[in-house]
Amino acid sequence: MKHKIFVSGIQCYAYHGCLPEEGRIGGHYIVDIELHTDFTKAAAQDTLSDTIDYVDVNRIVTQEMAIRSKLIEHVGQRIVDRIKSELKGIFSLQVKITKLCPPINGDVQSVAIVIEA
């Protein structure tokens, strides 16, 4: 079977960006994760070990978001790589990182990247 697990709205304060000020001041980010898996056994037997633990997903995201990068594209790829290497039973996933109020010389609510792997 095909199932999806969403861990949405992970809020982080991080220091990503190409501008030196972004490394000092930081900004608000929201990360959304979509995992494609098969949790048939977990659904039938009510066992956490047979599905993906949301705590692990949140831990990976917060740890990677805490490492400064110039580009959120780079952070997103690191999140994808860690989820794929540390969590079992994932067929594919999607990572979306949204940077709120980016400093891009305009009145912009957010920018975002999406990686599908």
Kindly list the catalytic residues.
99
Asked if 26 and 14 touch (Cβ cutoff 8 Å), the reply is yes
Quickly tell me which residue has 């977990």 as its tokens. 42
Token pair for residue 11? 């809020």
Pairwise CA distance, residues 16 & 5, whole Å: 27
Element (H, E) at 56: helix 54-65
